[in-house]
Structure 1
Amino acid sequence: MLPLPDFSLMPMPRRQPPTKEQSALLPPFAILPPERIHVPTDDAGFAAAHAALRAASVLGFDTESRPVFTAGAADPGPDLMQLATPQGAWLLQLRHPQALALAREVLADAAILKVGFGLDNDRRSLPRRLGVEPQGLQDLDRVFARHGFGRNTGVRAAVALVLGQCLSKSKKTSTTNWSLPTLSPSQLRYAATDAHAPAVLWQALPAWEAAQPPLPPAGLRRPRRA
């Protein structure tokens, strides 16, 4: 009798997050109102941002960069760094020296956990842009990978999975010029939400993870049959 295949060598079936169409049927994610989206530009604004961000132990995190349309052009790094709590978001325009200093301070502090999605590029570009090594970055895509989802779950699907809500994202807004001195209302909403949603998700993740089915231990082998 021929031996049966070793099932331990076969990949486990991947769990599928909700599609965009399925997410659209869910209640909307509550985005921050304009008064809770802060873009500091003066001494008072930066002092308030410094106090709020340094007091946080966990911050939602994301960055935005101006689009590069020339093939082979060097990536200049982000123009905007977004940091958020569940209650508010701070958008640091890195062309401001005070914003750059505050971004460096928060990014280099390992005691402040910065949570977001798809952070591999940030790990590469931020040291060049800010001159510091990022500390305390937590890529939430890896949390979902632990539970059988792909390594690129993304914030939209994560909000649907964990919160049961629909997070709408504008592709058009994502490719706008983030180096502009004054950002449009749609840019402000988009940028704030990309940091605010991970902050809200982080609070809900422990309960969601506890409810997930256990996965087989790595390397678990099924017995062969003769």
Structure 2
Amino acid sequence: MITDPDALLPPYDGITLADVRMVKSDQDAAEALAALSSTDVLGFDTESKPTFLKGEQSTGPHLVQLATDEVAYLFQIGATPALDVLKAVLESKSILKVGFGLKDDILRLQSKLGIDTNNVLDLSNALRKGERNSLGAKTAVARFFGQKLQKSKKITTTNWSLPRLSDKQILYAADDAHVALRVYRRWRSDQARAKTAP
């Protein structure tokens, strides 16, 4: 007997490494700003090094991910050019930022980096159809694409403050932002279709 109905779903094919940019230099930052500023909606997420001790305070975010439809941009906090770009994009009132479970991300960006995030839509709440609990990315991917989003607990709890992230970390983080944008686009197109249906 199958207890997890999602186990039968085909895997979700996420973003590829070729479509991820690590923003490290001033030139990277300029290119990221140009791409991110020219879109209406971005996928958005952050990663923080996990805390394991009781009462231990998180020092995150250590990584901020912003995704357009084609490319995910990863900003390691501590790299100098990143902050100006993040401030410009995240504080912009004209660009919508979408993601899952963003409450902590927004608080940490404010307290650690002084970024007052504007125009954010938390899909965990927006997509709730009368369910009591907020909706996660895995459930949304199953609902909208009929696919299973692989979320490795092992990677979730890795050290995101490392100066060099592994390919698995990079893909995991990029996917978190990119999948949010894909779910948002599908949700809006389904809504538009429902409105025009006879």
TM-score normalized by structure 2? 0.90
- Alignment match, 1:76: 59
**Unmatched runs of 5 consecutive residues or more in structure 2:** none
**Residue-by-residue CA offset, 1:160-211 (whole Å, 9 max, x unaligned):** 1011111111011000010111100110110000000011111100244468
Q: Are the aligned partners of 1:144 and 1:150 in contact in 2 as well (CA < 8 Å)?
A: no
TM alignment of 1:92-107, pairs within 5 A: 92-107=75-90
- Alignment match, 1:168: 150
**Unmatched runs of 5 consecutive residues or more in structure 1:** 1-18, 213-226
Matched-pair identity in %: 41
- Alignment match, 1:88: 71
- Alignment match, 2:127: 144
**Match for 1:190: what amino acid?**
Y
Does residue 1:179 correspond to 2:161, yes or no? yes
> CA–CA distance in 2 between the matches of 1:211 and 1:23?
26
How many pairs were matched up? 193
**Residue-by-residue CA offset, 1:81-100 (whole Å, 9 max, x unaligned):** 00002211000001111112
> CA–CA distance in 1 between the matches of 2:167 and 2:101?
24
- Alignment match, 2:97: 114
Does residue 1:195 correspond to 2:177, yes or no? yes
> CA–CA distance in 1 between the matches of 2:18 and 2:110?
31
Does residue 1:153 correspond to 2:135, yes or no? yes
> CA–CA distance in 2 between the matches of 1:110 and 1:20?
44
> CA–CA distance in 1 between the matches of 2:110 and 2:33?
21
Q: Are the aligned partners of 1:32 and 1:192 in contact in 2 as well (CA < 8 Å)?
A: yes
Displacement of 1:123 in angstroms is 2.5
Q: Compute the RMSD of aligned alpha carbons.
A: 1.9
> CA–CA distance in 1 between the matches of 2:95 and 2:169?
26
Aligned in 2, Cα 1:193/1:97: closer, same or farther, shift over 3 Å? same
Q: In terms of Rg, which structure is larger?
A: 1
Displacement of 1:151 in angstroms is 3.5
Question: Which one of the candidate residues 90, 110, 116 is aligned to 1:127?
Answer: 110
> CA–CA distance in 1 between the matches of 2:7 and 2:70?
24
> CA–CA distance in 1 between the matches of 2:4 and 2:189?
25
- Partner SS, residue 8 of structure 2: coil
